[in-house]
Structure formats: structure tokens, C-alpha cells
Amino acid sequence: MAGKNFLTAYIKPVSSVTTILGAFALGLGLYSMVSIHGRAVAKRRENWGFSAVLLGAILAMAIPAIWKEYDKSPQIAGFYRIMYDGGFNPLNATMFSIVAFYIVSAAYRAFRIRTVEAGILLMSAVIIMIGQVTLGQLLTAWIPNENFSSNFRVENLSNWILTRVNSPAQLAISLGIGVGTLATALRLWLSLERGAFFDEEL
């Protein structure tokens, strides 16, 4: 087991306290959001209707979700289900998925091979993309998957790029990030950090 010391017994209480204090911090973002949109509604600013929708949606989701913990009636559960599975989840998934369309537009208009580096990037991307789909794998499925010839199958080529070229590059990047994070933590601990939160009057 990891080395124990006189402070080990306090890990559990610290864990509980940190969990609860962290939860109290939710109100910071909530206050900002409600105050901005609340002011927009109160002063009838442009598009205040959308702000009212936002505030209404907060209540429409929070109230049934908390209420169903105390009232097990099927009507409350059904209403929550509609808000969650009919509103929150599909909107969440659709917002993420819309980026795919923008990628298509960018692929046609913006991805240009103007330099050697861009050429290498796109060549690597194309090999990875072909290697990770079944239609692409079919292109080289006729090559025997043994001995030297297997290196020319597109999925093996894609795997070679990921494990032999991408992996060491990512390792080097993450080592640099790790050292930087450690240095920042040390500066924080030794009160060497400067910036908006540390030495300016609030």
C-alpha cells in the first residue's frame, strides 16, 4: 500500500469536506447567468424573450428533478423524462454533432497544402482516416496479413503512424507539459506566483 503517515487518517474527512465545499461553488456560475439574463428580462432588452426562455428552462428542469426525489408519483417522473430525454439529451447531442457539418465546409474551403508541413499533416490524416473505416480497409484487404507485405495494409500503416510516430511525439509534448505544470505548482506553493488573483486588490 502507498506509504502511510500521521496525516493518512485525515484523508477521508478532507475528502468529504472538499466534496461539499466544491458543490457550494456551483452558485458562482449560476449567479452570473441568472443576473445577466434576469437584467435583460427586467429591462426588456433586445431579445429578452430568449433570456426568459432560459430562466424558465432552469426552473422547468430543476424543479421536477428535485421534486421527484421526494414525490414518487409517476406524473412527476413522466414530466422529468420528457424534459430530460425529450429536451436536454437531444439538444446536448445535437449541439456536439453540428460541428461535423462545419468540418465538411472547412475541408473543402480551408485545408490547403501550401507548405511541406501541411502536406505531411494531411497525408498522415488521410492514411489514418482510410485505415479506421471498413471501406478503407477493404482497399488493401487483398494484401496478405503476414510477413513484410502486411506493412502495406492500410490499417497496419495507420497503426504504425499512431504507435511509432504519433506516440513518441505525444510523449515528448506531455513531458514538456508535465514539467511546466510542476513548475507552476512549485511557484504557487512558494508564493512566487503573480497575476490578477494573487497580488492585485480586488
Partner 1 sequence: MFDFLSNDATVRVIYIWCAALCTLGIYSILYKENKVYRFLEHLFLGLATGYTISQTWTTILKPQWWEPMTNDGQWWWALALPAGLLFYMVFFPRHAWMSRLIFGFFFGAAAGRTFQAFAATYFPLVKSAVNIPLMNPPEASMPGAYWLTGTSAILNNLLFLAIVISVMVYFFFSFEQRHPAIRMTSRFGRYTLMFAFGAIFGSTIMARMSLLIGRMFFLIHDWFQVTVLGMKG
Partner 2 sequence: MDNFLRLIVRAQRIDRRILYLLLALCIAVPIAVDVPQPRPVVMPETQSLYNTIESIAKDPVESKKLAIVCTNYSGGTLAENQTQNEAIVRHLMRLKLKFAVFAFATPQGRELGRAVADKLAEEYKYVYGSDYVDLGFCPPDAIEVRLKAAVDDLPGAFEKDSAGAALTSLPIMAQVKTVNDISLIVEVTPSETLPPWLQFFQRAGEKPIPTVYCPTAVMGPEKYPLLKSGQLQGMMLGLRGASEYETLLGVDGFGHRGGASLSLSHLLIILLILLGNLGMFAERRLRRQQGRA
Site for partner 1 in 131-190 (CB under 8 A): 132-133, 146-148, 161-162, 164-176, 178, 181-182, 185-186, 188-189
Does position 120 interact with partner 1 (CB under 8 A)? The reply is yes
CB 43 to partner 1: min, Å: 17
The DSSP secondary-structure symbol of 44 reads T
CA distance 69 to 80: 11
- Closest to 186 in 3D by CA, of 176, 174, 178: 178
Q: Which amino acid is at 74?
A: P
- Window 67 to 96, contacts with partner 2 (CB under 8 A): 88-90, 92-93, 95-96
Under rule CB under 8 A, how many of the chain's residues touch partner 2? 56
CA distance 192 to 40: 41
Q: Which of 8, 45, 73, 152 binds partner 1 (CB under 8 A)?
A: 73
CB 105 to partner 1: min, Å: 10
Q: Which amino acid is at 188?
A: L
Q: Which of 168, 183, 186, 188 binds partner 2 (CB under 8 A)?
A: 168
Does position 186 interact with partner 2 (CB under 8 A)? The reply is no
CA distance 96 to 147: 42
Cell numbers that stand for 117 in this block: 508541413
Does position 113 interact with partner 2 (CB under 8 A)? The reply is yes
φ, ψ of residue 131 to 5 degrees: the values are -70, -20
Does position 152 interact with partner 2 (CB under 8 A)? The reply is no
CA distance 152 to 160: 10
Does position 42 interact with partner 1 (CB under 8 A)? The reply is no
The burial class, CB within 10 Å (0-12 / 13-18 / 19+), for 82 is exposed
Could you list the residues that contact partner 2 (CB under 8 A)? 1-2, 4, 8, 11-12, 14-15, 18-19, 22-23, 25, 88-90, 92-93, 95-97, 100-101, 103-105, 107-114, 122, 126, 129-130, 132-138, 155, 159, 162-163, 166-168, 170-171, 173-174
